[in-house]
Amino acid sequence: KEVGSNLFRSGRMQLAMQRYKKVIELFSHIDNFNEENKGKAKDLKKVCELNLAACLIKVKDFSQARTSCDNVLKDDAQNVKALFRKAQAEFGLKNFDESMRIAKKVVEVDPQNKEARGLYKDAHVEQKKVDHQAKGLFAKMCEGLGKGPIPEPGKKVAPMDEDFDDEDDAELPATTANTPAEGTEDKLSGEASEAAPAP
């Protein structure tokens, strides 16, 4: 834990995360520990999960940071650090409503927490921007409604271009079958004209 903390302070996040993960993994199976050591192991694991979450937020892996915070909150639902870091992770994931909800919970547990108040305000501002963009997008979508041609009731809608192509192809052989080919017309008219002068 101490090595991880020193690495974190010196900005070596990847190495710090590896250390914290090793400690968490080491203390994941504490069933055969005596009661006193079980408590110490759980506390150490909790601290490492919180420090891991801080590292993950620094490297912008917000989804994993949220998971680490959830691991702590399973056993300690009012843990201020876990709640605050989860609010930060939700903010990073652009879940501003959730971030505001959690930051508000932090302030309820710790009314003097200025960072949580600041995060709440930031999330509120960002959520207003998202709402404004969504409102504009929705307005544009609604503007487009009803601008196309509206067929009168009882009339058929004009077929698409593809339908026309199919009909043209179907009619083409029928038309050529009824019209005599070039040359045959001359022969027929020639035969008819030869037959007529005979009387």
Q: What is the mean pLDDT of the chain?
A: 77
The pLDDT score that the predictor gives to residue 116 is: 95
Whole-Å CA distances, 87 to 7, 44, 82, 90, 95: 24, 22, 9, 5, 9
Average pLDDT over every residue of 115-120:
95
Residue with tokens 């045959």: 184
The pLDDT score that the predictor gives to residue 108 is: 94
Nearest to 94 by CA among 133, 61, 123, 52: 123
DSSP 48-99: HHHHHHHHHHHTT-HHHHHHHHHHHHHH-TT-HHHHHHHHHHHHHTT-HHHH
pLDDT for 131-146, tens place per residue?
A: 888 887 777 777 666 6
pLDDT for 77-117, tens place per residue?
A: 999 999 999 999 999 999 999 999 999 999 999 999 999 99
The pLDDT score that the predictor gives to residue 11 is: 62
Sign of CA dihedral 104, 105, 111, 113: negative
The pLDDT score that the predictor gives to residue 22 is: 86
Task: Say yes or no to pLDDT of 5 above 70.
Answer: no
- Identify the band that residue 23 occupies on the pLDDT scale cut at 50, 70 and 90: confident
Cα maximum dimension of the chain: 134
pLDDT for 167-187, tens place per residue?
A: 444 455 544 444 555 544 444
The pLDDT score that the predictor gives to residue 118 is: 96
Quick one: tokens of 58?
Answer: 């620094």
Q: Which DSSP state fits 95? A: -
